[in-house]
């Protein structure tokens, strides 16, 4: 009888462990899919607007389309997806403590030779009595990004940016810098 109990306890232990592992695996798979969708949708809108109206028109894409895509995908996937950075343009995108820590670690990992596009980090975070699954994926600075995030931003782009974002910190980036990251958080049911 005792043996049987030990066995069933071991089984329970194993089962709950597997559930947690699956939950995290599923979260990571869904996060990857959501990020891919976010990145491709935004990039095609951005590149399209740059071609048709140049950077001044494309600012509207980043200003209005990016938050809309984020909201649509958050609803579709059932978790919160956004973009953040150590230097943000929109104060709504400001990194929280956990995001700041991960972004700093991405900088260290980049210095150590990891490629920006492969930098990801995922963790289960406990806050008081609630738990969340969180994940981040770094975003590299490409040539097209410099028109609005580089050092010498042409007019009238600079004026439009300053009008829309008086607290803009997201300039002065160079090709190959980490521009920021996609960030996802999913609250776990108790
Ligand atoms: C036409 C101008 C323009 C171009 C080109 C551009 N961005 Fe932005 N970017 C913006 C604006 C405007 C925002 C603020 C969006 C908002 O209000 O949420 C922004 C915000 C961001 C953010 C969110 C964090 C923050 O600073 O608020 C990231 C990350 C980002 N851009 C990355 C990129 C990358 C990577 C590229 C190149 C592939 C790029 N951007 C190209 C204008 C631009």
- Model confidence pLDDT, tens digit, residues 86-145: 999 999 999 999 999 999 999 999 999 999 999 999 999 998 889 999 999 999 999 999
Rg (CA), the chain: 20
Question: Closest Cα to residue 98, out of 140, 139, 141, 132?
Answer: 132
From ligand 1's centre to the CA of 110, what distance in Å?
21
Q: Phi/psi zone of residue 113: left (φ > 0), alpha (ψ -120 to 50 degrees), beta?
A: left
Mean pLDDT, to the nearest integer, of 164-184?
98
Q: How many other C-beta atoms lie within 10 A of the C-beta of residue 147?
A: 17
Q: Is the pLDDT reported for residue 13 higher than 70?
A: no
The percent of residues in the chain predicted with pLDDT above 70, rounded, is 89
The reported pLDDT for the residue numbered 189 is 82
User: Residue 52: CB partners within 8 Å, gap ≥ 6?
Assistant: none
pTM reported for the whole predicted model: 0.90
Of 42, 170, 182, the one to substitute when testing ligand 1's pocket (max ligand atoms within 8 A of C-beta) is 170
């Amino acid at each position: 009888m005792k043996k049987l109990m030990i066995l069933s306890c071991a089984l329970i232990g194993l089962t709950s462990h597997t559930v947690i592992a699956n939950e995290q695996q599923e979260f990571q798979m869904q996060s990857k899919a959501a990020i891919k969708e976010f990145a491709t949708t935004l990039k095609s809108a951005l590149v399209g607007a740059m071609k048709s109206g140049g950077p001044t028109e494309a600012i509207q894409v980043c200003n209005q389309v990016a938050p809309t895509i984020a909201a649509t995908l958050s609803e579709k996937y059932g978790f919160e997806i956004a973009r953040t950075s150590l230097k943000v343009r929109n104060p709504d995108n400001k990194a929280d403590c956990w995001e700041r820590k991960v972004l700093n670690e991405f900088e260290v990992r980049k210095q150590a030779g990891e490629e920006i596009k492969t930098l990801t980090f995922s963790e289960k975070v406990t806050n008081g009595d609630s738990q969340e699954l969180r994940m981040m994926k770094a975003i590299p600075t490409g040539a097209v990004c410099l028109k609005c995030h580089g050092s010498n931003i042409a007019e009238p782009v600079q004026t439009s940016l300053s009008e829309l974002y008086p607290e803009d910190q997201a300039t002065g980036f160079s090709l190959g810098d980490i521009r920021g990251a996609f960030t996802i958080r999913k609250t776990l049911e108790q």
